[in-house]
A and B are shown apart, each in its own frame.
Chain A
Amino acid sequence: MKPGCPRLFEVEAWRDGRLGGAEAERFRAHLKLCPSCATEMQSLEALGEALRAPLPHENELHVRRERTKLLAAFDARLVPPPRPWRSGLALVAAVATLTCVVLAAAFRFVRPAPAPTVASHAAPVSEAVAVRADSSARWSRQADAQLETIRLESGALSIRVDHAASPRRLRVILPDGELEDIGTTFSVSADSGHTTRVSVQEGSVVLRLRGAPPVALGAGDSWSPSPAPLSASLVPPSAAPPSAKPVIVAASPSSRVPPATGPDPSDEFAAAMAALDRSDDSQAAALFGAFVAQHPRDARAEDACYLRVLAFQRAGNTNAMRRAARDYLTRYPRGFRKSEIEPLVGE
């Protein structure tokens, strides 16, 4: 500190708000007249400025990946894992509750369902898929190692899927199409050979009806044939990779690979990145599309969706790029790259 003024120590005190009202005002007046204190003030301000010097910008792709990781972690916390029972009382309560649930389920879910119209189950149906049917619903359910299929002829079903516990994907066959669950909770109704309503409470689904482009529905969305979809966004089939199959719904159960035994998503993402790096843009777009289709809940899915748009853009395939851009906005309406993608839709 510079000598010369007995009040020099008050500069820092004044700056930190340590001086009271009248005292602060008196020091403010002093500061205007005292060169030593003014110099000390400037020195402290310079120190603060040095501390505030901007840091190098973080890599944007890294920031985006961290964002995706954060949202995935938050999402996972919303569905807490089962916890060990801590007391005998809790166990007794659980048994009682379970008994009630089983009785209720036997009455409400199993009874209304007609005998399966499809072949007998190749594998036991998953307990991770809870189906609630209305009293008039005509439906059946079957499963194999990779896919669980619910066939709805008429009536209404409410379905909840615990993806953390479910070993296989779920498909709902409708009278006039099909619906693939990539979310958690939704309901679907059909009547007279037509789907009449789809409503999504959590997660998302893709609705494919014959003669119409697939419709992606997110949480809170609902669909009905007339009037037009309320808040759904179209996902044109041609936005898919060159396999010419729809972007989200795989063609057959055999193409669905369960995460536990399938290829490592990291390898698939790396392969897509490698294609992009060597400017094999069409191939990169296809690989990113496949990645998104097969791993929609992977932390890198948003990256893949975005990079697919870039790959189409670099390949000069404007129409595919627009469709991919719309697909990105449908999947990630508040996505990190939203501001970059939006202009491309109408470009």
Chain B
Amino acid sequence: MRSSTRSTPERVTPPVPDPELLEQLAAGQLGALGELYDRYQAALRAFLVRATRDAHDIDDLVQATFLAAAASAARYDGRATCRPWLIGIAAQLLRRRRRTFSHLLAVLSTLKITQTSTSDPRTALQARTDVERALSRLSEAKRVTLLMAEVEGMSCPEIAEALAIPLGTVWTRLHTARRELRQALASEDA
């Protein structure tokens, strides 16, 4: 796992191991959630910023992820670090949000009461680099999968488990995502 942006010694060597922290959280201890937030909010926020093309609900997604983690803490599998687990929850929330949004779009287009485009109307990513722009052109499913592999360092089986998709789908998404990313970067250069 790559270290979070918080680099104080107590963060590098957490006083309470993640599994124990999640046990405390499952017991309803508020302090455990605060500690979990301090450890992983930066990593989670970074993942969500990269993974989503609109930044206005990042805070909501971070909150929802930690609250969902708190609700599921009793079922945590005891791995030494819960970062991949949290990232998986965030990815699931992203997917759910995307489905909800697609449904909303369908309703709006049926009603024909607005001039909403049938294309994705979400605010364009405030891309600062070519890579970010190229990344924003990928579908969210491919983008999330690629970020889980390349940024979070998760193995393909871990990603498949977190996203509840077949391993082969992960491999396919990764391959396609890299190819499209390279093509997009090449067109940026051109």
Q: Which residues of A contact B (CB under 8 A)?
A: 12-13, 16-18, 44, 47-48, 50-55, 57-58, 63, 66-67, 69-71, 73-75, 77-78, 333-334, 336, 339
Contacts and interface: CB of A to CB of B under 8 A. Distances in A.
A191 B181 CA distance: 76
Contact of B33 (A48, A50, A51, A70): A70
Interface string B29-46: 011011101100110011
Contacts of B2: 52
Contact of B178 (A44, A57, A70): A44
A47 B181 contact: yes
Contacts of A339: 8, 10
Interface stretch (B62-70, B79-87, B90-98): B62-70
B28 to A, nearest CB: 6
B159 to A, nearest CB: 10
List the 3 closest A-B pairs by CB distance, nearest first. A48-B150, A50-B131, A51-B150
B37 A70 contact: yes
Contacts, number: 81
B178 A47 contact: yes
A16 B8 contact: no
Contact of B34 (A50, A58, A71, A73): A71
B34 A67 contact: yes
B5 A52 contact: no
Interface of A is mostly: helix
Contacts of A50: 129, 131
Contacts of A334: 31, 34-35
Contacts of B49: 55
Interface residues of B, number: 41
A73 B63 contact: yes
B146 interface: yes
B50 interface: yes
B30 A74 contact: yes
B175 A12 contact: yes
Interface string B107-144: 00000000000000000000001010001000000000
Contacts of A66: 41, 59, 62-63
B12 interface: no
Given A50-B131, A66-B62, A70-B37, 7 more contacts: A18-B156, A18-B171, A53-B131, A69-B63, A74-B33, A74-B67, A336-B34
A69 B151 CA distance: 28
A71 B30 contact: yes
A173 to B, nearest CB: 30
Contact of B156 (A17, A57, A58): A17
B174 interface: yes
B5 A54 contact: yes
Contacts of A71: 30, 33-34, 37
B33 A78 contact: no
B75 interface: no
A136 B131 CA distance: 74
B147 interface: yes
Contacts of A52: 2, 150-151
B72 interface: no
A58 B31 CA distance: 22
Contact of B28 (A13, A51, A70, A78): A78
Contacts of B62: 66, 70
Interface string B132-174: 0001000000000011011100011100000000000001001
B99 interface: no
A290 B100 CA distance: 43
Nearest to B168: A18
B103 interface: no
A74 B150 contact: no
A50 B188 CA distance: 15
B114 to A, nearest CB: 32
B178 A73 contact: no
Contacts of B135: 51
A75 to B, nearest CB: 6
A67 B178 contact: no
Contacts of B147: 51
B37 A55 contact: no
Contacts of B157: 17
Contacts of A336: 34, 38
Contact of B50 (A17, A51, A63, A78): A51
A346 B67 CA distance: 36
B175 A70 contact: no
